[in-house]
A = this chain, B = another copy of it.
Amino acid sequence: MQTMHIVSAYDEELAYLARRIAAMGGHAERMVEQSIAALVNADAGLAQKVIADDAVLDDGQREIDDKAIVVIARRQPMATDLREIIGAIRISADLERVGDLAKNVAKRVVAVTEARQPTSLFRGIEALAELALTQLKDVLDIYATRAVDRIGFVRDRDDQIDAMYTSLFRELLTYMMEDPRNITPCTHLLFCAKNVERIGDHATNIAETIYHIATGEQMPVERPKGDKTDRVTAPGTIASN
């Protein structure tokens, strides 16, 4: 009877960690959505909300870390449970970074929108953010359902995000060449785009952690890390020597 009780309290501790991760994930998704909405609509108020909301993820990560360490010390878990708990520490760190990146987008809203840009400029980053958000949502859905067999989409979609980011990078460089007044806002947009691309990377990291929790193995196929823009130059506007 006593053993039953202990086991079930332990299960509840693990379930609590999983619920806290899910809550952090939902919060991170909203921050990403709202940071992009603030950018596209030049909504400084919404940007301020996103900036303030980041504290919730910082606190969440700290709480999960402390809780995880207490659970390990008290329960001395083996194998799968230990991977589950260490995994919670890792996933909460990724989600905390997603929040930082969304907050950084929000902080750039003023610099990007002080000279009013044509809305076409925001089309690209909106599409990129939509793809990264879908990735994050689907990965968190797999965390909740543990349907690791459905994880195959992750790398393909990460490739799509990288390709879209590269094309956006090139487009923004071209705008900057066309008119020096575009340089400052487009530079900030470049950093926003880079942040969104990084959010996609963190979603992939989370998928890798979920895979490791479930299988004890590394997720197969080395993922070529993110950014493919390192050699991108704007076409036809710069000396090639």
Contacts and interface: CB of A to CB of B under 8 A. Distances in A.
Interface of A: 62, 65, 69, 72-73, 76-79, 82-83, 86, 89-90, 93, 100, 103-104, 107-108, 110-111, 114-115, 173, 176-177, 180-181, 183-184, 187-188, 190-191, 194, 218, 225, 227, 230-234, 237-241
B73 A86 contact: no
Contacts of A177: 180, 183
16 contacts: A62-B218, A69-B86, A72-B86, A110-B230, A110-B231, A111-B230, A111-B231, A114-B241, A115-B238, A115-B241, A173-B183, A173-B187, A177-B180, A177-B183, A180-B238, A187-B187
Copies of this chain present: 2
B104 A230 contact: yes
Contacts of A65: 86
Given A69-B83, A108-B230, A111-B230, A191 B188 contact: no
Nearest to A191: B194
A206 to B, nearest CB: 14
